[in-house]
Every structure is written in C-alpha cells, then in structure tokens.
A and B are shown apart, each in its own frame.
Chain A
Amino acid sequence: MKTPSDENHDLIRWLDGEMTPAERSAFEATLKNDPELAAEAESMRQLSENLKAHLPAEMPVPHADFFNSQIQVRIAQMEADEAREGRKSAESTAAWLSWLRMPWLAGAAAAAFAVAGLVWMQTSPTGGASTIASTYTPNPAVHAQVFHSTEAGATVLMLDGLEPIPAEKKVAGFRVHHAESDAGVATTTLFDENGVVLAVVALNALGQPQVLK
C-alpha cells in the first residue's frame, strides 16, 4: 500500500518526466479515476510552466564590463600575491637568492626596454619539475606573469605594461641550474645545466643587481 509520501512522489515524478513508461501509464490511469488528484496534477503542471516561463535561465549581469574587468584585476592581484609569497619563501630558504633579482636582459635596462628577470631553480640536478623562484621587473609599471608547462617543456613570459619593443631588439632568457657566490668579490655566478656560466651578478652602489658578464 502506498503512503501519502509515495503518492506525492508519484505526482512529481510524473510531472517531471521521471517515470518509466509503465509507471507513467499506470499513474495516468489513476488520474482518470481520481478527479481530485487530476486537478492537483493539472495545477502543478501549470505552476511548472509558469516557473519555466518567468524564471529566466539567463539574466543580464549588472555592470557587465565592470564584472569582467574586476575578475581580471582579481586574477592579476592573486597571481602577484602568489608570486610575492613564492619570492618570500625562496628568500627565506636561501639568502643568496636575493642576488638573483637580476635584470633579464643584460644591457636592456639601459636601453629602457629592460623588462623582467626569471629564475628557475631545479628541484634536482638530474632534471624533473622546475620552480619559478623569482620574477623581477626594473620598471614597476611592467607586470610579469610566467606560465610554465612541464608537459609542453615550455615557459611563457607575459609582460603587461611594456612599451613596444622594436623588431631588431632580441628578447632572450636563460635557465639557471645553480649558482655560486664568491664572498671575496661579492658576486654570484649563475650556471646552466651543463655547468656553463650564464652570468655573473653583483650589486651596484644602489644595491640593485647588475649583470657583469
């Protein structure tokens, strides 16, 4: 014997098309013999139609452009915060990393096109996942974002706020495998994975990183 709850469930399952064909036939036979239930079913069917007609599945977003731009701003802030956190973490684990806040393009800073520096620290000398430990933009108006895909074996550097770079200027980067500091001459030498010297960095009189080689 069906409980009132079962009957209620049958009614809405019929209404929502959740019955099997056999269940549906049986329920519709019941409806023919029960005018009260049939009236209830009709009333609920009308309600369902009205809800569908008057509750739009799409609504215009107020201030839609601002909605989008705020999302972009929040994403940029989030990534800047994460980059800052990453930098703090890296700095706290190795003091010499502060030396690595070097301009990415040797000489480019002087040309006013200097943009950003990146430092990758490999987790193991034999390869594996890399971590972007630091980004540095001499020009504070330039915002650097780095995206690395181990799977693709590629890293994309995005620089927002940069002036157009003339075609003849070449933008290049390098991947730091490890670094050695020489306290005697206050320099840090950066090496690639083959042990080849990439750059020698020192701080200038203003405490800013400077590429010596």
Chain B
Amino acid sequence: MSAAAPAATDPVEPLDVDLVKRSQAGDTRAFDLLVTRYRSRIYAMTYHLVQNETEAWDLAQEAFIKAWRALPNFKLDAAFYTWLYRIAHNVTYDWLRKKKIQGDGEFDDERTEHRAMPGSRTAPQGFDAPDRAMKRQELGKRIQDAIARLSPDHRQAIVLREIEGLSYEEIAEVMKCSLGTIMSRLFYARKKLQEMLKDTYENPV
C-alpha cells in the first residue's frame, strides 16, 4: 500500500520492526516510540477525515490503543505503518458511519486551522514573500473549508487518494466498494471542490 511511511532510517533510531517486537513482548516504552514516530501522520489522516480537532485527537488515540491490543496478532508481514494506518482508517470510518446513522451531517464545528509541519512530505518548500505567503495561507484555509463541506464518502475518497496516495484498488478495498464507485466518488468530489474553489483558478496564487 502506498500509505506505507518510511521507517526510521537514522542508524541511531531503532527500526520499526525492533520496536514492534519489543512492544509485542509488552514493552510499553517501545510502543511509546512508535506512537511518537507516527502520531503526526495518523492525526493528519483522522483530522482530514473528520475535520474536528478534538474528535481527530480521540480517534488517533483510539487507533493506537487498538493497535496495542492487536499487536500480538501482527505477524510483521506488512510495514507497521501500513498496518497501523488500516486500523486508524477503520476506527475513523466506523465513527463516520455512526455519525451518518445518527443523522449528524455537520463536521465543521470547532474546526481549527493547521499548518503543515516543517519538513513534512507535503509542506511547501522555500520561502514566500509575505503577500504570497498570506495568499497561500488563505488558499490552504479555503481548501480545508471546502474539504469539510464534502460528504464523508467524497471526503474520504479524496483524502485517501490525494494525501495518502492510495491506488484505486486500495481505496476500493479500504472503503469496501467497487472500483466504479470509487472513480465516481473521486470525480464528483473533485467537481464539487472545483465549484467551491473556482475563483482560485480564475485568480491563481
């Protein structure tokens, strides 16, 4: 899965596989290192999906707790992050589904603005002039708002594709629907985003 994050490459940093084995033996400090290593990615994923800081924080934490419980069954046949990512996605997906069943379609309350972490994979590179930086920031905020206004299914498809870089097959597997449905969701999600952000393209940054 493309969601695999690079494991620690610094020779001083313990490898994921070693930390996982220690965690499986009950070493909670090793697990704490894994939490520290992946919390930013897992939190970003949950945040993009639920668009609420508090809920995203809780869901990310729930994902790590579930991972700890499931660790004895993890056979190390996949990258730890790929495995963790699936758990986090399932936790968030279940939450979104419950939210949908309860008829609570609002996801944009208590939303707060975030900025990319310095050095993160998608963080803008280089330095911008102040007016340009401000425009970028405004665009970022508008994109976040637009994403928040998508339906959960459309938002999920976009996040999995654009941020996590999953293939259509992987998205279909994660979202448990057909390839055709995934393509339709991606198409209509993008059309809606285009509509919401159309003046961005008329006055590009």
How far apart are B87's CB and chain A's nearest CB, in angstroms?
A: 13
* Contact partners of A16 in chain B: CB under 8 A: 161, 168, 186
Q: Mark A70-91, 1 if CB is under 8 A from B, else 0.
A: 1110111010000000000000
| Bitwise interface map of A from 40 to 60 toward B, beta carbon under 8 Å scored 1, else 0 | 000110111011111111111
Instruction: Determine the chain A residues whose CB is within 8 A of the CB of B158 once the complex forms.
Output: 51
Complex-state Cα separation, A85 to B174, whole angstroms: 35
What total of A-B pairs shows CB separation below 8 Å? Answer: 141
**Overall SS of chain A's interface:** helix
Contact of B121 with A57 in the complex, beta carbons under 8 Å: yes
B143 contacts A67, C-beta separation under 8 Å: no
Of the listed stretches A4-12, A27-35, A186-194, chain B binds A4-12
B28 within 8 A of A: yes
B102 sits at the interface (CB 8 A): no
* Whole-angstrom distance between the Cβ of A61 and the nearest chain B Cβ: 5
Q: Is residue B47 contacting chain A, with contact meaning CB distance below 8 A?
A: yes
How many B residues have CB within 8 A of the partner chain? 57
Partner of A57, one of B36, B57, B122: B122
Q: How far is the CA of A64 from the CA of B114 in the complex (A)?
A: 15
Shortest distance in angstroms between A12's beta carbon and chain B's nearest beta carbon? 5
> How long is the Cα–Cα vector from A60 to B115 in the complex, in angstroms?
8
Partner of B200, one of A18, A50, A147: A50
- Whether A54 touches B25, Cβ cut-off 8 Å, given contacts A46-B204, A67-B39, A68-B32, is no
In the complex, whether B12 has a CB less than 8 A from a CB of chain A is no
Which chain B residues lie closer than 8 Å to A58 at the CB level? 40-41, 44, 116-117, 120-122
Contact check, B194 vs A57: say whether CB atoms are below 8 A apart: no
Does A181 sit within 8 A of B, measured CB to CB?
Answer: no
Q: A8-B187, A11-B187, A56-B120 are in contact. List 5 more A-B contacts (CB 8 A).
A: A51-B143, A51-B163, A68-B32, A70-B61, A75-B28
State the A residues within 8 Å of B (CB): 5, 8-9, 11-13, 16, 18, 43-44, 46-48, 50-64, 67-68, 70-72, 74-76, 78, 145, 147, 149, 156, 158
